[in-house]
Homo-oligomer: A and B are copies of this chain.
Amino acid sequence: MDVARRDLILSAAALALSPRAFAADRPNRPLGYAIVGLGYYGQQIIIPQFANCQHSRLAAVVSGDPAKAKRVAAEHGLPARSIYSYANFDTIRDNPDVDIVYVCLPNSLHAEYTIRAAKAGKHVMCEKPMATSVAECEAMIAACKAADRKLMIGYRSHFEPFNLEAMRLARAGEAGKIRYVRSEHGFVQGDPSAWRLKKSLSGGGSLMDMGVYSLQAARYMTGEEPVAVTARESTDRSDPRFTEVEDIIDWTLEFPSGAIASCQSMYSANQNHILLMGDKGRIELEPATRYEGNRMWLGRDGREREVTAPPGPGKTQFAGQLDHLVQCVRTGREPIVSGEEGLRDMRIVEAIYRSAREGRTIRLDGRA
């Protein structure tokens, strides 16, 4: 066997065994995403973003609504073989066009479809919240690890220019010693029939949805992991929207440095805000984590000036997020917002619910 032929066989073996090696062989080929769930977020927000990507492309759609799937596929030039139902989803393993499965389903289905995708040999992008429990998150991480697949959570703020610049400024000491972070996220959830309000689908109320932004903000603005959480809930159970899940959750995180984060989520008022206070000044984002139109201010002694941020890693935060996982697949790096990151949040989410239920501070650092 000559050297060239041996190399070819080794390459083919590597190709068969390792999509990472496969990707490395063809570094410029955009990787293909299958979008699982053609609800508002998957269909209206994510799919149009492939036009802004450098390394990612739409390769398949998965939906329980054949007509919708067919229409979306046609709009984006996908062949019929790239349309899946939930029943035949597992056959996606045989589709070489699909490298990554993006789970855009209601929260309670995240674990199942992440695990099925990993078992089908696909890398996974999973929308936030990662799942509805710590146990599910652990199972998802284990499944992806067993399949040697990447798992990334759709924490788009980590690819959003203002949030990235705010993190950089906070680390650079722009506000001085960080003493206090506040983040509030909410919107008026009007429709009582929304899946978000069904506990079996959402796993919880505003905390599971908008609250994850506030929690993430507290962690990435301080750059610390909380050691204790104290939470309260307020829900009008006579409101037909809130028979199953909570409306308002208010929680306080304590960090090792002594910084405090006060966070809220709610389904009865519109807000989208991150504030960091240090002993020398403040960094404020409002709106903070919208799809677009976010703004940032810096201030000292109450005088704030609006600032811009340098461009983020992608043309949009969504494109940056989609392309990041592709780059991780190609290079073998862990995503900056991995499954472990989602699990960290879910541990805190469970502690927030527990603290509110029990009316006491819950330690997160194992101390009594």
Contacts and interface: CB of A to CB of B under 8 A. Distances in A.
Contacts of A250: 180, 252, 260, 262
A266 interface: yes
A272 interface: yes
Contacts of A234: 179, 254, 258-260
A112 interface: no
Interface stretch (A13-21, A45-53, A276-284): A276-284
Nearest to A360: B360
Nearest to A358: B360
A287 interface: yes
Interface of A: 177, 179-180, 182, 184, 186, 188, 228, 230-232, 234-236, 247-248, 250, 252, 254, 258-260, 262, 264, 266, 268-272, 277-279, 282, 287, 301-302, 359-361
B279 A188 contact: yes
B259 A262 contact: no
24 contacts: A179-B247, A179-B248, A179-B266, A179-B268, A179-B269, A180-B184, A180-B269, A182-B182, A186-B277, A188-B279, A228-B232, A230-B232, A232-B252, A234-B254, A234-B258, A235-B258, A236-B258, A248-B260, A262-B262, A269-B279, A269-B282, A272-B302, A359-B361, A360-B360
Contacts of A184: 180, 182
Given A230-B230, A359-B230, A359-B360, A264 B262 contact: yes
A277 B282 contact: no
A287 B302 contact: yes
Contact of A279 (B177, B259, B268, B359): B268
Q: How many copies altogether?
A: 2
A277 B287 contact: no
A248 B180 contact: yes
A279 B188 CA distance: 7
B271 A361 contact: no
A225 to B, nearest CB: 15
Most chain B C-beta atoms within 10 Å of own C-beta, residue among A228, A230, A248, A259: A230
Given A234-B254, A269-B278, 11 more contacts: A177-B268, A179-B268, A179-B269, A180-B266, A232-B254, A234-B259, A235-B258, A250-B252, A272-B302, A287-B302, A359-B361
Determine which residue in A177, A231, A234 has the highest number of CB atoms from chain B within 10 A of its CB, and name it. Answer: A234
**7 residue pairs, one from A and one from B, having the closest CB atoms:** A359-B361, A269-B277, A360-B360, A179-B268, A234-B260, A179-B269, A234-B258
A361 B278 CA distance: 28
